[in-house]
């Protein structure tokens, strides 16, 4: 009886009601088995036909709370099924109950711990959503817009240098119907950028000039910190939001696009994110020297980089240029998105979530996350087109602002290409997949 009871207890953890059937409690056993089949069928539907809908639920705090409750309830129910099996098959002698009792405890832990871990991940996800993304705006998805534009910023606050420099600025223009994405990258060293608002134009009628130091031109990557330090240039906007507000409007004015939202990642935080996923594999065309004293070296070839190496890969200009660095930074983001496989995300989720909370800031409201997830699902499998406004396509010291806007318009609407744009003999549109792999 001891060994039979042991087998029935273990078996009941997988086939609910097995012990009840074996001991003549057929109705109770049928009830438990039917309940298990229903739960498995529901899980199959959620993981199969409804997986896209589930992905939308998993970025909404209320659904994450509901998931935690459901997982806890299933864990309690499953443990109850196991101990119910032990109760109906328990041997008459205390000595004979030891092995079945141990089996019941062990199997309870085997089924309950993963469910507890899943509930914990759900709450961690909720913490990321509520801490990184802005509070709900009450807006209705994309409000019927055919295109939404996100400003992606890579910020670098180096030691010994005050303030934040937005050294990487890329606008992701997303087709809300088809999911097709086009990236427009602006170099950090654009000069005399036109100001977008009345207050900023009053301060800089001939384009952004910073403090006006002779021989030191003010660059696009200084606009963010300048706005934070000079409230009068962005009147009515609170501290901490002035930089993003003016930079969104400035970049939008340059490209001729309305920038809807921004997302900024701190470069040091990005290094922590890379370490959290276990490193990132990139293609390196030629040896890269890096470090404050050029003490580091990354050999050419396909390499697995640590967070610190990835940071320097995206930052270094030694033996290189700002424009090569722009391409490398995009490839880092592309590689991180492509290589973050589900198993890595599951096993390192807490580290990833912690790094994301430290590294990322955005004004995307939480109630738009479901629509953004749906948009990303449409984008899967589609090639991402990338346009970099760098020499010789443009001059950073004397940019042709009309040409930049014409190029953006003709890229998003090919039939609208102007003669001005068509005359440029330059392979300026790249496939991000071809560029980075």
pLDDT at residue number 342: 64
Q: Is 261 left (phi over 0), alpha (psi -120 to 50) or beta?
A: beta
State the Cα–Cα distance between residues 248 and 270, nearest whole angstrom. Answer: 21
Domain presence at residue 327: yes
pLDDT at 95: 75
Q: What pLDDT band is residue 140 in, cutting at 50, 70 and 90?
A: low
Residue 139 forms part of a structural domain: no
Average pLDDT, integer, range 257-281: 87
Higher per-residue confidence, 291 vs 363: 363
Question: Is 424 or 346 the better-scoring residue by pLDDT?
Answer: 346
What are 194's two structure tokens? 């036109």
Does 138 reside within a domain? no
| Same domain, yes or no: 266 and 368 | yes
Q: How many domains does the chain have?
A: 2
Query: Domain range for residue 410?
Result: 147-436
- The answer to whether residue 165 sits within a structural domain is yes
Query: Is there a single domain that holds both residue 56 and residue 201?
Result: no
Cβ-count burial 191-220 (b if 16+ within 10 Å, e if not):
bbbbbbbebbeeebeebbbeeeeeeebbbb
Burial class (CB in 10 A: 0-12, 13-18, 19+), 309: buried
Residue 215 shares a structural domain with residue 242: yes
Rounded Cα gap, residues 338 and 424, in angstroms: 33
Residues 117 and 170 in one domain: no
Please write the tens of the pLDDT for every residue from 227-249: 999 999 999 999 989 999 999 99
Please report whether residue 141 resides in a domain. no
**Contact indicator for 2, 102 with CB cutoff of 8 Å:** no
Mean pLDDT of 204-220: 84
User: Both tokens of residue 35?
Assistant: 């309940």
99 with 230, same domain: the answer is no
Query: What's the alpha-carbon Rg for the chain, to the nearest Å?
Result: 28
Q: Identify the domain boundary among 132, 166, 198.
A: 132
Return the bridge partners of 175, or none: 147
Spatial separation of the C-alpha atoms in residues 296 and 313, rounded to whole Å = 10
Q: What is the pLDDT of residue 421?
A: 57
Structure confidence at residue 207 (pLDDT)? 93
pLDDT of residue 202: 94
At residue 426, does pLDDT exceed 50? no
Shared domain check, 211 and 72:
no
Mean pLDDT of the chain: 85
Output the pTM of the full model. Answer: 0.81
Q: Which pLDDT tens digit goes with each residue over 42-75?
A: 999 998 999 888 888 888 999 999 999 999 999 9
Which residues have C-beta within 8 Å of that of residue 258, sequence separation ≥ 6?
149, 252
Res. 294 pLDDT band, cuts 50 70 90: low
Q: Looking at the predicted structure, is the pLDDT value of residue 379 above 90?
A: no
164 shares a domain with 54: no
**pLDDT grade, residue 430 (50/70/90)?**
low
- In the numeric block, which tokens belong to residue 132? 């990184």
Q: Give the residue, 299 or 420, on which the prediction is more confident.
A: 299
142: in domain? no
Token readout for 423 is 């005359």
Q: Give 41's pLDDT tier (boundaries 50, 70, 90).
A: very high
Does 213 lie in the same domain as 104? no
Is 140 a member of any domain?
Answer: no
d(CA 357, CA 352): 9
Sequence-separated (6 or more) residues with CB below 8 Å from residue 288: 297, 298, 312, 313, 316, 318, 319, 320
Q: Do 397 and 289 reside in the same domain of the chain?
A: yes
Return the residue matching tokens 């801490």: 131
Is 73 in the same domain as 154? no
426 and 323 co-located in one domain: yes
CATH number of the domain where residue 168 is located: 3.40.630.190
Q: Are residues 124 and 151 in the same domain?
A: no
Q: Is the pLDDT of residue 141 over 70?
A: no
């Amino acid at each position: 009886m001891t060994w039979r009871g042991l087998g029935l207890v273990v078996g009941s953890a997988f086939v609910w009601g097995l012990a009840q059937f074996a001991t003549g409690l057929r109705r109770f056993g049928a009830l438990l088995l039917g309940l298990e089949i229903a739960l498995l069928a529901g899980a199959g539907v959620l993981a199969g036909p409804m997986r896209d809908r589930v992905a939308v639920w998993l970025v909404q705090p209320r659904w994450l709370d509901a998931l935690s409750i459901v997982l806890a309830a299933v864990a309690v129910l499953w443990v109850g099924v196991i101990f119910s099996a032990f109760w109906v098959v328990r041997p008459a002698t205390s000595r004979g109950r030891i092995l079945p009792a141990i089996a019941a405890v062990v199997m309870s832990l085997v089924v309950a711990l993963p469910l507890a871990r899943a509930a914990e991940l759900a709450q961690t996800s909720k913490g990321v959503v509520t801490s990184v993304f802005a509070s709900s705006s009450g807006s209705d998805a994309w409000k019927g817009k055919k295109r939404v534009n996100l400003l992606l910023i890579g910020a670098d606050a180096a030691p010994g240098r005050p303030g934040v420099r937005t050294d990487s600025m890329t606008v992701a223009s997303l087709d809300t119907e088809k999911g097709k994405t086009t990236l427009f990258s602006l170099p950090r060293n654009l000069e005399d950028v036109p100001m977008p608002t009345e207050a900023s134009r009053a301060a800089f009628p001939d384009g952004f000039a910073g403090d006006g130091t002779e021989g030191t031109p003010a660059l696009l990557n200084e606009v963010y910190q300048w706005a934070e330090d000079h409230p009068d240039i962005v009147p009515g906007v609170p501290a901490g939001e002035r930089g993003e507000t003016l930079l969104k409007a400035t970049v939008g004015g340059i490209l001729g696009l309305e920038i809807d939202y921004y997302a900024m990642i701190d470069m040091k935080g990005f290094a922590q994110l890379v370490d959290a996923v276990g490193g990132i594999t990139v293609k390196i065309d030629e040896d890269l020297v890096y470090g404050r004293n050029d003490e580091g070296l990354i050999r050419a070839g396909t390499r697995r980089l640590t967070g610190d190496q990835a940071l320097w890969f995206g930052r270094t200009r030694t033996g290189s240029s700002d424009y090569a660095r722009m391409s490398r930074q995009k490839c880092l983001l592309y590689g991180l998105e492509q290589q973050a496989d589900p198993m890595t995300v599951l096993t390192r989720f807490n580290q990833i979530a912690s790094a994301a909370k430290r590294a990322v800031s955005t004004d995307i409201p939480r109630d738009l996350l479901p629509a953004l997830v749906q948009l990303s699902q449409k984008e899967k499998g589609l090639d991402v087109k990338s346009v970099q406004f760098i020499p010789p396509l443009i001059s950073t010291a004397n940019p042709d602002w009309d040409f930049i806007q014409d190029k953006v318009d003709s890229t998003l609407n090919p039939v609208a290409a102007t003669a001005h744009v068509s005359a440029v003999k330059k392979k300026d549109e790249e496939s991000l997949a071809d560029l980075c792999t």
